[in-house]
Copies of this chain bind each other. A is one copy, B any other.
């Protein structure tokens, strides 16, 4: 990464709160512009951690995310550590499986990559540390939990595990601290901040499918799906030849299963082909390792306070994972912000309102779309009609790629603004009905 220097001549202090995916990438963007960047992460350095707390939730990197990485020269580094996924593989109840190809050829290099969160963040942080050597005032601060901050002055108070406090003053605070953002709390106290958090009735549990004879237990370059009406299991490959299986189910269904034998009986009924692949004993044990996790959709507006603070990534728009866009939308935030920084010559009092104006409708559109897909998947993914519709869409697109573009393609393989993609899709739906 080559820092380009700050165009306004004065190096402003940017405090990025949250050193996860979005925070780390944002830090690279600001460092590249020559700001004095400080990253504050409440946890320990993930690079040193032996056991990473939290879930290993699967991440699908597609076009928007890759574009954002490319801008700071990181696309190839990340992609080389990912596993390309060509298509979906549907597992039927009878144990058959068949692939569902995506008509993406006409759009060029637009593969979806499965990446690991830990290796991803590690890569970012290493690159960022390299930049930090160029700017002595740029640094990573771990074990720094945001306690309070002042939107007028930019004063921030962090507390460490040993109870000591640290006070920092920043010109710009970038809240990248996830769905339960501490930065956002200050927004909540202000008037006219619109906010919603919606938990869906489904939870999820993760299970590991080990390698067989040192190789993947199923074909690796697919998103494996077991659609079962209100239940669903998916599996994605990892670099160590394991698969991470994610079981989605209403909470009350999870609660019905209380013994190892009930787990096996449940899998025998709904996912029989997965039992030998995961292993009956492992299944009985791992199912109860953690309670079912909740999924939340967060929408808010506006994203900024004066020229002092801006929310990005999950802190601004946590979405349910049913469109594979959570990380991609967060990464796209960085590049959208970057474009506006360029347009307004880094004048934050113009950049921040413009960022809210431009980005809110798109983030709300993808949040709605992910929620719509959640409802749609439950109702239709198992039905022949739904599969037929997907084929019709892809067929129409192959015939006339310029005029009929499936919504999924616009969202996943282009940078068409999310809200424009939804508008265009609604128009196409009307045309189809004529």
Residues of A within 8 A of B (CB): 191-199, 251, 294
Contacts and interface: CB of A to CB of B under 8 A. Distances in A.
A102 to B, nearest CB: 34
Given A191-B199, A193-B197, 14 more contacts: A191-B294, A192-B199, A192-B251, A192-B294, A193-B199, A194-B197, A194-B198, A194-B199, A195-B195, A195-B196, A195-B197, A196-B196, A196-B197, A196-B198
Contacts of A192: 199, 251, 294
Contacts of A199: 191-194
A195 B194 CA distance: 11
13 contacts: A191-B199, A192-B199, A192-B294, A193-B199, A194-B197, A194-B198, A194-B199, A195-B195, A195-B196, A195-B197, A196-B196, A196-B197, A196-B198
A251 B191 CA distance: 12
Contacts of A197: 193-196
> Would you list the 5 A-B pairs with minimal beta carbon distance, nearest first?
A196-B196, A192-B199, A191-B294, A195-B197, A192-B294
Contacts of A198: 194, 196
Contacts of A196: 195-198
A251 to B, nearest CB: 8
A75 to B, nearest CB: 35
Nearest to A299: B196
A249 to B, nearest CB: 15
